[in-house]
Amino acid sequence: MKRYLNCYDTHSCVRCFSCMTNCSVENRVRLQRDQHIPSEQTANHPMHHLNYLMPRLKEFGVFPKARQIIEFHHCMHCENHPCLDICPAFAIVKRPSGAVVILEERCVGCRSCIDACPYDVPVYNPETNKTYKCILCFDRIENGLVPACVEACPTGAMFSGPEDEVLKEANERASFYTERYGEPYVVYGAQRLNGYVGRTGWLTIVPEADLEAYGLPQDPVKSAAIMRGPLKVGGAGLAGLTALACTGHFLYWLYNRKLEVARDQEGRNVLEQGAEAGEGTDQGTTSGQAKEENRQEETDGD
């Protein structure tokens, strides 16, 4: 599959929020499809973490010159995906389309991706101890459908497709608006922004003067995460070795422990047979011991 882009055109959007509602609904469809939670059970509950596209209301200026900007807040599907790089659980992957996806079942809830994201996108849900963000509807686009937000847009303000097509349309619109309104419009994310994010997989057509207002920094970085970069390189080897050594030792210990338990088990069986024979005075202690060992076995089984 070729690189796939989403594009949001702030100029022709009528702010009907159809895209956002549909995203919210599509994630409920997924709950029914993948987890067998029927839609009537999800339709009546807020699911903040599953709204991958959210509005951020901002005001600028003073009456009567005041302006409102509604930022469409969503994952940018960065080319250089700092969230993927930082994830210690290998829970974030890049699909062939360029969609950067958190695999829910792998996510350990450490929130490193939140630290790394220069757009403040991933949302942590304490109830599930997992982090969520837009998956660029990779299940839909890989099967020939457009993302739910694009499907929902009644005005063509949101469009998507193979890289070349979307770039062409986006650039044409931006240059037309620039010429028409005498004010520069740009396609945010079409060109490499910096080394941290690269280009973005979700473009935005926006007046250049309003980039910041729409939450689109020219140089998106997250310093905390950048600090971790060199540390990671330097520490990675050491940390890796240490981890490996620890794991190895742990597993070795486990193996030995298993043997011990097996030996104990043999002994216990003998004891239990004795208890059944009628010598019940020490029964409490014995069963208590057995319980503890059972617990131990459960742990071992992991």
Among residue numbers 207 through 226, which ones bind other proteins (CB under 8 A)? 207, 210, 213-214
16 makes contact with other proteins (CB under 8 A): yes
Give the distance between the most distant pair of CA atoms in the chain: 99
Interface positions, 143-182, toward other proteins (CB under 8 A): 143-145, 151-157, 173, 176-177, 180-181
The residue among 95 and 286 lying less far from other proteins, judged by its C-beta, is: 95
x-or-dash string of contact with other proteins, 130-149, rule CB under 8 A: --------xxx-xxxx----
The residue among 28 and 199 lying less far from other proteins, judged by its C-beta, is: 28
End-to-end, the C-alpha distance of the chain in Å comes to 38
- Which window, 13-21, 121-129, 269-277, 293-301, contacts other proteins (CB under 8 A)? 13-21
DSSP per-residue codes, 206-254: EEGGGTTTTT--SS---HHHHHHHHHHHHHHHHHHHHHHHHHHHHHHHH
**Structure letter (DSSP) for residue 187:** E
Interface positions, 260-289, toward other proteins (CB under 8 A): none
Number of residues that bind other proteins (CB under 8 A): 82
Contacts of 117 (CB under 8 A, 6+ apart): 82, 83, 222
- Shortest distance, position 136 Cβ to other proteins, whole Å: 12
The residue among 29 and 290 lying less far from other proteins, judged by its C-beta, is: 29
Q: CA 55, CA 53: separation in Å to the nearest integer?
A: 7
Q: Two tokens at 266?
A: 């043999």
